A and B are shown apart, each in its own frame.
Chain A
Amino acid sequence: DTAVSQTPKYLVTQMGNDKSIKCEQNLGHDTMYWYKQDSKKFLKIMFSYNNKELIINETVPNRFSPKSPDKAHLNLHINSLELGDSAVYFCASRASGPGTQYFGPGTRLTVL
């Protein structure tokens, strides 16, 4: 059973398009995250949701819109894709309080 899953694994698209990435966790965790990993492998937090409520929004362009339909799902929609959006996007989840984060396999987004 995959604890945190993401779809798609790879996404290749043209500049200006709109795309979505989906994430699901079956761990019963309350908190979920989106992270961006750039070409130098540097990870940076983008968003966090706790029980469907947005709690962290890290100066991400408003072309990026996260949505959490329930606490097991966190999706990321990106409008008007730009070359600089090319990266690997990781979803993660965590139980309440300081604790281990469980990462999804990542979605490699390439914008041409």
Chain B
Amino acid sequence: KNEVEQSPQNLTAQEGEFITINCSYSVGISALHWLQQHPGGGIVSLFMLSSGKKKHGRLIATINIQEKHSSLHITASHPRDSAVYICAVAFSGGSNYKLTFGKGTLLTVNP
């Protein structure tokens, strides 16, 4: 069964802390996405990865294909980073590009 597991479900941090959110998946993939959903509801794509590491500002995403695992890191966290972070995976082998989503991680960064 094609599954995506995220941890932790909830994460509370103090401003300035280093944050790590984890995502594991069950079988081979063609790509993994990290999405951000703010309390207002809009969803923004942060990264798309198929190997290695990507960095954008204070955000870093890594993926280990052999271990079927990805992490999203936030350095020097800020209250504006408070949001739900969602991992989504396109499993390989399918004829169409379809995302399967994790249940999300609710991050709260306190000042």
**Residue among A88, A97, A100, A106 making CB contact with B45, cutoff 8 Å:** A100
A43 at the binding interface (Cβ < 8 Å):
yes
- How many contacts A-B (CB < 8 Å)? 52
Q: Classify chain A's interface size.
A: 20 to 34
- Give the residue name and chain of the A residue nearest to B97 (CB): A98
Cβ distance B109 to chain A, nearest Cβ, rounded Å: 18
Q: How far is the CA of A102 from the CA of B98 in the complex (A)?
A: 14
Q: Given A98-B31, A101-B45, are A45 and B50 neighbors across the interface (CB < 8 Å)? A: no
Q: Classify chain B's interface size.
A: 20 to 34
Cβ distance A12 to chain B, nearest Cβ, rounded Å: 16
**Residue among B45, B90, B97, B101 making CB contact with A43, cutoff 8 Å:** B101
A63 at the binding interface (Cβ < 8 Å):
no
- Give the residue name and chain of the A residue nearest to B47 (CB): A100
**Residue among B30, B37, B86, B97 making CB contact with A94, cutoff 8 Å:** B97
**Residue among A41, A48, A103 making CB contact with B96, cutoff 8 Å:** A48
B contact set with A: CB distance below 8 Å: 30-31, 33, 35, 37, 41-45, 48, 50, 84, 86, 88, 90, 96-101, 103-104
